[in-house]
Amino acid sequence: MEREVAWSKYNEESIKDVFAFAEDYRQFISKCKTERECVKEAIVMAESAGYRNLSDIIARGKTLKAGDKVYCVNMNKAIVLYCVGKQPIEKGMNILGAHIDSPRIDIKQNPLYEDNQLVLLDTHYYGGIKKYQWVAMPMALHGIVALKNGKSVEITMGEKADEPVVGISDLLIHLAGEQMDKKASKVVEGEDLNVLVGSMPEIGVKPKKDEKENVKKYILKLLKKQYGIEEEDFLSAELCVVPAGAARDYGFDKSMIIGYGHDDRVCAYPSLVAQLNTENPERTTACILVDKEEIGSVGATGMHSKFFENMTAELMNQCNQFSELALRRALTNSNMLSSDVNSAFDPNYPSVSEKKNASYFGKGVVFMKYTGARGKSGSNDASAEYMAHLRKIMDDAKISYQTAELGKVDVGGGGTIAYILANYGMNVIDSGVGVQNMHAPYEVISKVDLYEALKSYEVFLRNA
């Protein structure tokens, strides 16, 4: 069952839409490198599309009706958007879900230290990474510092051409004989991912006798001057280092994009746009973008939290449709695409893929009936009936799609948020975009796969 290449159905005129949407997405991931930044931009986009904050509607005692559009934010790290349908919500919703966190290097709570006139930040990596990939490259600092007075300071440094960058050093090849004999998992240890941020004491200030850590003192002075923060404010900070610079077109033909955070913003962004493009649906539509997937979807902002369930209850209440039974029915009767990336076939590493069941660049959005590892451990295994339902929807709309697994059966595997929503008894299947270099600092996707994902999500919201 060879799937056709999606590029073949476009002509010189229609291909402009593919590249235009890819450019919008490229700018989005270049700007939004943390879950907080994604939520902030999603709010701007949503309000421009006529969405209102559900919390404001509740506070004012307003009711909602079919066609109304609202959003809810969870701790500035997750967001859900609804467009109220003509049918009662208890008959079910059409839901898109994706995650907006990505693997990165987080700064510890007590991070700043000086060692031989070099000032560094201690870190703890976030998500599954090959640690050796994250050294010897320019990195940017992103995040917030929450102050005791209730205010927060946003920090972004290293993205503009006139801003400094930071980074993690690597061992020079001339002295790396012992290092090169180590297993890849041990070449760089987690505790060695320390970020170099300074090497100079304050010019023109003569240190006192036996005074120590003069470089650190100067760095703290700069932080105070530029951001108004003290060393103790790191205790209530959420800061991370990510690859610096914008995502770029990739390949002679510019058919791909290389950048940080495709996993899973390459699914989150088209999901968001598809939701914003949906007007007056028959069934209520929802798009939920969550945090913490890379570490198990745990915590208050992960999919395991009750945020989505609670906000759906609030929505139904403002529509005068709420009861506990109606809420349960709404969740059970819903259809969902759990949108996450798949490993695109790489000719450099063919041995890890089973070619008939791998995803490929240029063949459209990927449907994964099951994920998990080895014996489908940790997997949501979608029903055959739901898969047939989606096939008809996609074929009728002439959407280019393919089916795949995440590597050979006993090679590895991965998980998504699908199984969590499936606990309600709703129909859920994994879908998304194929990615090369997954979890590396720079990942690669195909522009036409991104566009087919958008089109598939729009069709799903209207017709599922």
Q: Tens digit of pLDDT for each residue in 266-285?
A: 999 999 999 999 999 999 99
Look at the domain 104-243 and name its fold: Aminopeptidase i, Domain 2 (2.30.250)
pLDDT in tens, 60-75: 999 999 999 999 999 9
Neighbours of 154 (CB within 10 A): 12
Domain boundaries of the chain, sorted by first residue: 6-102+260-463, 104-243
Q: Which of 204-218, 334-348, 405-419 has the lowest mean pLDDT?
A: 405-419
Residue closest to 70 by CA, chosen among 274, 296, 314: 314
256-259/443-446 β-pairing: antiparallel
- Looking at per-residue confidence, does 301 or 417 come out higher? 301
For residue 31, count CB atoms less than 10 angstroms from its CB and return exposed for 0-12, middle for 13-18, buried for 19 or more: middle
Provide the pLDDT for residue 120: 98
The structure tokens listed for 173 are 């090849």
Residues 96, 275: contact at Cβ < 8 Å? yes
Mean pLDDT of 414-439: 92
Provide the pLDDT for residue 1: 67
Neighbours of 422 (CB within 10 A): 18
Residues 71, 81: contact at Cβ < 8 Å? yes
CATH number for the domain whose boundaries are 6-102+260-463: 3.40.630.10
pLDDT in tens, 93-143: 999 999 999 999 999 999 999 999 999 999 999 999 999 999 999 999 999
The SS3 assignment for 263 reads helix
pLDDT in tens, 225-242: 999 999 999 999 999 999
Angle at CA of residue 462, ends 461 and 464, nearest 5°: 70
> What residues contact residue 341 under an 8 Å CB cut-off, 6+ apart?
262, 263, 264, 266, 267, 432, 433, 434, 435, 438
104-115/237-243 β-pairing: antiparallel
pLDDT(223) > 70: yes
pLDDT in tens, 163-177: 999 999 999 999 999
Spatial separation of the C-alpha atoms in residues 266 and 284, rounded to whole Å = 24
- Measured CA to CA in angstroms, residue 208 lies from 95, 119, 328 at distances of 64, 19, 69
Mean pLDDT of 296-313: 96
Spatial separation of the C-alpha atoms in residues 230 and 4, rounded to whole Å = 58
What's the pLDDT band for 9 if we cut at 50, 70, 90?
A: very high
